[in-house]
Amino acid sequence: MRFGSFSEMTGYYAERTPDSPALVFEEGGSVKALSFSAFHGRIRERAEELKSAAVLGAGSGAEGPAGVRCVGVFCTGSLDCVVDILAAARAGFQQVLLDPMASDELLKEQIGLSGADMLLGDEDLAEEFEEFLRPAGQAPDLKAGRILFFTSGTTASARAVALSEASLCCSAYNGGSLLPLDPSDRLLLMLPLNHVFGFVCGLLWPLSCGASAALGRGPRHYADDMAFFRPTAVSLVPLLLGFLLKNGLLNEELRLMLIGAGECPPALIRAVKDKGIRVSFGYGLTETSSGLALSLGDDPYALTVCPDDEIRIASDGEIMVRAPGSMMEGYYRDPEATARAFSDGWLMTGDLGLIGEGGRLWITGRKKDIFVLPDGTKVYLPEYEAKLSEVLAGRDFALFMKDGAVCLAVSGGKSEEDGIAEAVLPLMKTLPRGQQIRRILMTGAIPRTATGKVRRWALAEEVN
Amino acid sequence: MNREEILKKTVEVIYECVPEMEGTELSEESVINTDTAIDSMGFTMVICRLEGIFGIKIPDRQWTKLSTLGDVISAIEKQLKKQGRLA
């Protein structure tokens, strides 16, 4: 079904299948369910509470133009958190979805940039970050129903992508029309809601089909959530899939798996298929509210473009996208970056691809200087390498990726490796785990193209 | 229980949860996400297992601040002290 807002979605099923479970969650060690009727009722109630501002945990009471407020929600993945997000949208607030595990510095920056004037989702965190809320009297660019997603953990400055209820619902419709779920399906949400892939493919996709979303209990339960919730479908990033497979954690009821947010090794896909589970691979961007194309047939890398989206390939191989229903409004408060992202109305994705048989899309690589790690995190190389140049002054070096890990190549002899490792160690301690250098390659000259660009693939080939 | 015993137990857990690490020499200074190539999933398993063994809970937000093996041991010590199980 196509919906224009979250409330329309939950209201539709509250009317037609009121007793069907919308959310499944853990309470007191047991699996509990919240019906569409009860879920929709809770959202309405909470929206009224938020509008009256009577129950706000922390906030300055500042308002933007025409009374619009901006709420920051710490995405803990709990039932209350899900209700808060949908209720804030219903209340007509702008909101920003925050990662409760992010560093203090990142959260401060994101709260400040978004113009949040109240915080929800975790009382302790709300209190801790209250001082960084927008003071009363300041009125930044706020818009009812706008939802900000920060592009995943980068070394770059915080950049928020401005999406909306309508764009996110459109993306869910796109996914559901190609990969419909049955109302009896239960999709396990293991990914964070502050990532658009988790939000759309872990929450909105099942809800838009009248199926239920099981709210995973976070990293502590990665190993037992499948057995606990017994899902029939799941959306995963490759890293998590590898973990589940390695430890034999896929439950026997599972019939459908959607993998996205990064390259997935063929061996993992084969292992899932061997268990009789249908595997679909998804390609999408935060800028397009997640999904653009999904694989539907036997070849997991042959992607069918979603119904509302249009894709073409530029002369240099870059994938260009038009997605009228699910395209971002722009990068929040960054019109220059927004303008740079488009060419003649087409979003330049920075990914390389080709269109083959039946109009299907194959992703062949990346044009931008970005690594996408197996957990979906993006690493912006120019900024990372600028930081490294401060500690490797005068050395010729380059970053490359091998087997999903960030590696560093330095021109020099093997005997210098320990010194290099020691020099970069303080910087590593400041970086998220996945972005830290896992391997150092001492090599001859760093291979470059005629125009001076590093041939990173050649470095990766040098490592056995 | 003292810091050395916690270190010993922690190293045992790393070897158990990340078998490919068995035999790798680890010290408090080891940056466990680079020196030992423990990925984030392995790291999650290690911390969860340690929480179970020591009967503690390391707050989620502290996980991201744990870099070296010494950091992990300090976090365990802090929780044990809170419970009055460590002087």
Sequence letter at residue A367: K
Say whether both A194 and A248 belong to one domain.
yes
Say whether both A320 and A431 belong to one domain.
no
Sequence letter at residue A423: A
- The pLDDT assigned to A402 comes to 87
pLDDT class for A421, splitting at 50, 70, 90? Answer: very high
Residue of B nearest to A218 (CA): B60
- The pLDDT assigned to A212 comes to 98
Using a CB-CB distance cutoff of 8 angstroms, which residues of chain A are in contact with residue B39? 239, 433-434
Task: Give tens-digit pLDDT for A194-240.
Answer: 999 999 999 999 999 999 999 999 888 888 999 999 999 999 988 78
* Residue to substitute from A122, A220, A430, interface B, most B β-carbons within 10 A: A220
- Judge whether residue A354 has pLDDT over 70: yes
- The pLDDT assigned to A157 comes to 56
Say whether both A389 and A348 belong to one domain.
no
Residue of A nearest to B17 (CA): A247
Q: Nearest-CA distance from A425 to chain B in Å?
A: 9
Say whether both A387 and A361 belong to one domain.
no
Last residue of a domain, one of A368, A394, A417: A368
| Two structure tokens written together for A386 | 């600028």
Q: Which of A101, A222, A436 shows the shortest C-beta gap to B34?
A: A436
Task: Write the CATH number for A208.
Answer: 3.40.50.12780
Say whether both A268 and A381 belong to one domain.
no
Say whether both A348 and A391 belong to one domain.
no
Task: Give tens-digit pLDDT for A366-379.
Answer: 776 778 787 777 78
Say how many domains are in chain A.
2
- The pLDDT assigned to B50 comes to 92
Q: Nearest-CA distance from B78 to chain A in Å?
A: 19
Q: Nearest-CA distance from B65 to chain A in Å?
A: 8
* Residue to substitute from B18, B24, B28, B33, interface A, most A β-carbons within 10 A: B33
B20 vs A134, residue with greater confidence: A134
pLDDT class for A57, splitting at 50, 70, 90? Answer: very low
Spatial contact of A101 and A22, defined as CB atoms under 8 Å apart: no
Q: Which of A219, A222, A438 shows the shortest C-beta gap to B34?
A: A438
Cβ separation B64–A101 shorter than 8 A:
yes
Cβ separation A428–B60 shorter than 8 A:
no
Cβ separation A434–B40 shorter than 8 A:
yes
How far apart are the C-alpha atoms of A129 and A50, rounded to whole Å?
Answer: 19
- Judge whether residue A33 has pLDDT over 90: yes
CA–CA distances in Å: residue A210 to residues A12, A25, A222: 9, 17, 25
Q: Nearest-CA distance from A389 to chain B in Å?
A: 20
Say whether both A269 and A410 belong to one domain.
no
Using a CB-CB distance cutoff of 8 angstroms, which residues of chain B are in contact with residue A436? 31, 33-34
A132 in contact with chain B, both atoms CB, cutoff 8 A: no
- The pLDDT assigned to A54 comes to 40
Last residue of a domain, one of A344, A368, A392: A368
Say whether both A302 and A179 belong to one domain.
yes
Sequence letter at residue A217: R
Q: Which is nearest to A141 in space by CA: A4, A340, A327, A334?
A: A334
Cβ neighbours, 10 Å, residue A344: 7
Q: A47-61, A415-429, B11-25: which has the highest mean pLDDT?
A: A415-429
- Is this complex's ipTM strictly greater than 0.85? no
User: Which helix (H) or strand (E) element contains residue A358?
Assistant: none
A86 vs A307, residue with greater confidence: A86
Provide the chain B residues 7-46 that lie in CB contact (below 8 A) with chain A: 31, 33-34, 37, 39-41, 43-45
A187 vs A426, residue with greater confidence: A187
Say whether both A360 and A404 belong to one domain.
no
How far apart are the C-alpha atoms of A17 and A128, rounded to whole Å?
Answer: 41
Say whether both A305 and A386 belong to one domain.
no
pLDDT above 90 covers a percentage of chain A that reads 53
**For all residues of chain A together, what is the average pLDDT?**
87
| Two structure tokens written together for A251 | 């439950």
Say whether both A101 and A11 belong to one domain.
yes
Say whether both A219 and A167 belong to one domain.
yes
Q: Which of B31, B43, B61 shows the shortest C-beta gap to A428?
A: B31
Q: Which architecture, in CATH terms, is B3-82? A: Orthogonal Bundle (1.10)
Expressed as residue numbers, the domain containing A328 is: 1-368
How far apart are the C-alpha atoms of B80 and A357, rounded to whole Å?
Answer: 61
Task: Write the CATH number for A439.
Answer: 3.30.300.30
- The pLDDT assigned to A139 comes to 63
CA–CA distances in Å: residue A346 to residues A92, A173, A332: 29, 21, 18
Cβ separation A432–B31 shorter than 8 A:
no
User: Which helix (H) or strand (E) element contains residue A51?
Assistant: helix A36-52
Torsion angle defined by CA atoms of residues A101, A104, A109 and A111, in that order, rounded to the nearest 10 degrees? 60
- The pLDDT assigned to B41 comes to 72
- Across residues A49-69, what is the average pLDDT? 61
Cβ separation A222–B41 shorter than 8 A:
yes
Task: Give tens-digit pLDDT for B29-47.
Answer: 887 765 445 666 778 888 8
